[in-house]
Amino acid sequence: MRMRTLGKTGISVSEIGFGTGGISRLMVGDDREAQLRAVRGALDGGVNFFDTAMGYGSGKSEANLGAALNRLGADVVLTTKIRLTAEEREAPEEAVVASVEKSLERLGRPRVDLIQIHNYVAPGRDWPVGEVVLDLHDIYGVGGVLDGFMELRDRGLVRFFGFTGIGHPAALSEMIDSGEFHTVQAYFNLLNPSAAYPVPEGFSAVDYGLLIERAASIGMGVLAIRALALGALTAEPNLLGFLDERPPVLSLGSEYDEDVARAEKLSFLVREDCTLAQAALRFVLMRDEVSCALVGFSGEEQLAEALSCVGAGPLAEDEMQRLKHIWASDFA
């Protein structure tokens, strides 16, 4: 395993991180032995960064991950997240503290290394995404989310602060520029590369405006999320089981069915010694600014595929030129 520094935290983290979201199902299910095997396999492969959230399976992910880590006696870099409801948004500091206290109980841990905001962020609460949105006052105002984070840090329950970079790009840029956060989770993959590469005006997905470079320039750690676009960037787009329902949209313009169609344009990346998923992870790891690529695992096969990308090297120059042409045409 290769290690990278998580920005100004100084923490050394594995290039591949263990994601436990509900979409991958493993860590929100009930197969404790499969969960234990996956966590042990990740640790044996050198993975030391584990990411969860109170919202994954209504706390089941935290409980299951905590049980596996504690059973194995693992010393890891551990992060969880808060996601406020509309009601909790009226008293953010109190809600944040209560959420993290419950998360620590489920994890069976005295503290976590990193706590992150997992709501959409926008200039106003009425941004039309169908989810609970935080505006900057909810975060920075007196009694806001940041005050809650600071209280938790003062009590020794968390060490560092981060946020998921979803929402209105201008608001995300303001959060980065504030210097109050140590990490950002950047939505970044072959189908929406805009967090690190320019895309044309009118690009059909959110243009994150080189967010990765902006964050890295002030020393923030960058955690790349959705590297496989919920399975769209795999050999079997329905690998994660989306047969009867469509998964929720995290980043506007990156709806699952549309991403599957876009991914068909990338078949040139598949070779005998490289699957589409491996190409997608190698693409993310090409960026030195990325501290860790978070991947959700449904089982040991997906874990092995992800770990094989460590040290596999960048995509070829001709492949990158072809990708830039595809991005410039918006996958037309």
CB 82 within 8 A of CB 118: yes
Tracing tokens 């591949």 back to the chain, one arrives at 16
Q: What is the pTM of this model?
A: 0.94
Tracing tokens 């506007």 back to the chain, one arrives at 252
Q: What is the pLDDT of residue 179?
A: 96
Q: What is the pLDDT of residue 243?
A: 43
What is the distance between the alpha carbons of residues 84 and 90, in angstroms, rounded to a whole number? Answer: 9
Mean pLDDT score across all residues of the chain? 93
Q: What is the pLDDT of residue 242?
A: 44
- At residue 112, the 3 state secondary structure works out as strand
CB 83 within 8 A of CB 53: yes
Please give the average per-residue pLDDT across 141-163, as a whole number: 98
Ordered domains of the chain (ranges, CATH) = 3-328 (3.20.20.100)
Give 195-252 pLDDT, tens digit per residue.
999 999 999 999 999 999 999 999 999 999 999 998 899 877 654 444 445 566 789 8
CA of residue 6 relative to chain centroid, distance = 14
CB environment 191-207: b (16+ within 10 A), e (fewer): bbbbbbbebeeebbbbb
Residue ranges of E strands in the chain: 3-5, 12-14, 16-19, 49-51, 77-82, 112-117, 120-121, 133-134, 158-165, 183-187, 221-225, 290-296
What is the distance between the alpha carbons of residues 103 and 1, in angstroms, rounded to a whole number? Answer: 29
Q: For residue 309, name the pLDDT band (cuts at 50, 70, 90).
A: very high
Q: Smallest Cα–Cα separation from 318: which of 271, 272, 281, 261?
A: 271
Q: What is the largest CA-CA distance in the chain?
A: 56
> pLDDT at residue 48 above 60?
yes
Please give the average per-residue pLDDT across 107-123, as a whole number: 97
Which residues, including other chains, have CB under 8 Å from residue 325's CB and lie 6 or more apart?
A: none
Q: What is the pLDDT of residue 25?
A: 80
What is the distance between the alpha carbons of residues 175 and 154, in angstroms, rounded to a whole number? Answer: 21
CB 69 within 8 A of CB 77: no
Range scoring the smallest mean pLDDT among 23-32, 104-113, 245-254:
245-254
Q: Smallest Cα–Cα separation from 53: which of 325, 327, 298, 296?
A: 296
